[in-house]
Structure 1
Amino acid sequence: MMLHTLSHENTILNKFIAEIRDKRIQTDSMRFRRNLERIGEITAYEISKTLEYAPKVVETPLGEASVEMIADKVVVATILRAGLPFHQGFLNYFDDSENAFVSAYRKSTKDGKFKVKVEYISCGELEDKVLLLVDPMLATGSSLVLAYNALVERGGQPKHTHVAAIIASEQGVDYVEQNMPRQTTTVWASAVDEELTSRMYIVPGIGDAGDLAYGAKL
């Protein structure tokens, strides 16, 4: 499995990462959502460099031009609800892709632990397609792997899966590597943080992406 950490290179991406981390700027939910979307666009561009291409001839007003076009069939999938702005960033670039959605949540137990439950799946055929599984936060990795398994059970095995996160933990990256096909999985993270709290939040992280984007939940 290959890991790409996009913030290792100094680009405008770092400005957007800083803003979604900054607790003063986080109070502007519209700006927070827009930054998730913009990071999604940048990540989509980077992933596009790895896809297969084929030449296509297009007719201009003055002649013909040969252009290399994406030959892969792409499916963009996300976990509701925090993933929606990030997903939109990918969809802005892969605008003719298919889409898939998974509803997953943490169900707490009396001992303070939790189990991840998957309730809803909307997914088409995945066989021989490239799956972009995008979620802003890759904490423990368990939600993402459950979502992946649910999608594969419903749609079949993609030829390659790109896992895209904005903030990942080292533990989450390791869990994905151990529980998803290594030869056909690539992880893209804007930044990788070292620590997880006892409640499995990434530190320094950003907090709860869903609450920051759409408001606190009960």
Structure 2
Amino acid sequence: MRVHVADHPLITHKLTVLRDKRTTSPVFRQLTEELITLLAYEATRGVRVEEIEIDTPVTRTTGLKISEPRPLVVPILRAGLGMLEGMTTLLPTAEVGFLGMARNEETFEPYTYAERLPDDLSDRQCFVLDPMLATGGSLGAAIDFLFARGAQDVTAVCILAAPEGVAAIEKQVGDRDVTLVLGALDERLNEKGYIVPGLGDAGDRLYGTV
């Protein structure tokens, strides 16, 4: 498993505003979109491409285009939805699937309550969107779900992660082709399973508590 922690002043600046408890939901949503576009740039460095010949106004030349089958972007509901537009801004030709996963707040174990994905993901590059990698339960379950459908290459994009979550994913995925792209790697988890210093519950801050 590969882990890439983005190191860019614009990312750190936007993360600082996201962490601030005074930041309102509209601003939080806007900054999340901007931040994910920056992280998507890092996450798609290995996107599969193929050569194509084109005619410029001057001459014929060779360029690149995204290969078929197209990449699949999979936000984990509900908080992952806040990351979707930022990802598809940079990768507009990608297809989009959905996984509805939640965490039992007492056991911290994940469960799947909805899915909308192709039956066969063979040869597909999949990009999973999940704002917070805390215990690793939800993201790990999502990665297993995609590989069970035939995926061979999964990249997870997270705004924040705790070392415990990264270690859990690394142990779970084994030698499968998985990459983690993180906005920041925080200090630890607290006794409630929240990232410290973190930014609170990303879903609540994006959409409210209802």
**Equivalent residues, number:** 208
Show the counterpart of 1:115.
Answer: 109
**Corresponding letter in the other structure for 2:180:** V
Q: Using structure 2 for the length normalisation, give the TM-score.
A: 0.91
Residue among 73, 85, 91 paired with 2:88: 91
Show the counterpart of 2:74.
Answer: 77
Show the counterpart of 1:129.
Answer: 124
Task: Determine the C-alpha separation between the residues in 2 that align with 1:117 and 1:52.
Answer: 31
Asked if 2 retains the 8 angstrom alpha-carbon contact of 1:36 and 1:136, the reply is no
Q: Could you give the per-residue CA deviations for residues 173-197 of structure 1, whole angstroms, max 9, x where no partner exists?
A: 0111011143401111010112111
Task: Determine the C-alpha separation between the residues in 1 that align with 2:113 and 2:131.
Answer: 20
Task: Determine the C-alpha separation between the residues in 2 that align with 1:10 and 1:97.
Answer: 25
Show the counterpart of 1:29.
Answer: 25
Show the counterpart of 1:199.
Answer: 192
Please report how far the alpha carbon of residue 165 of structure 1 lies from its aligned counterpart in structure 2 after TM superposition. Answer: 0.5
Asked if 2 retains the 8 angstrom alpha-carbon contact of 1:103 and 1:121, the reply is yes
RMSD: 1.7
The 10-residue stretch of structure 1 (167-176 or 47-56) with the greater mean CA deviation from structure 2: 47-56
Tell me: CA distance 1:152–1:184, structure 2 relative to 1, closer, same or farther (3 Å).
Answer: closer
Give the unaligned 5+ runs of structure 1. none
- Tell me the secondary structure at the aligned position of residue 104 of structure 2: strand
Q: State the percentage of identical aligned residues.
A: 30
Show the counterpart of 1:147.
Answer: 142
Tell me: CA distance 1:160–1:114, structure 2 relative to 1, closer, same or farther (3 Å).
Answer: closer
**Corresponding letter in the other structure for 1:104:** M
Tell me: CA distance 1:47–1:94, structure 2 relative to 1, closer, same or farther (3 Å).
Answer: same
- Mapping 1:166-181, distance limit 5 Å: 166-181=159-174
Please report how far the alpha carbon of residue 150 of structure 1 lies from its aligned counterpart in structure 2 after TM superposition. Answer: 2.6
Task: Determine the C-alpha separation between the residues in 2 that align with 1:169 and 1:56.
Answer: 41
Q: Could you give the per-residue CA deviations for residues 81-109 of structure 1, whole angstroms, max 9, x where no partner exists?
A: 1111212211111111111111111234x
Task: Determine the C-alpha separation between the residues in 1 that align with 2:184 and 2:145.
Answer: 26
Task: Determine the C-alpha separation between the residues in 2 that align with 1:82 and 1:121.
Answer: 15
The 10-residue stretch of structure 1 (199-208 or 67-76) with the greater mean CA deviation from structure 2: 67-76
Please report how far the alpha carbon of residue 162 of structure 1 lies from its aligned counterpart in structure 2 after TM superposition. Answer: 0.7
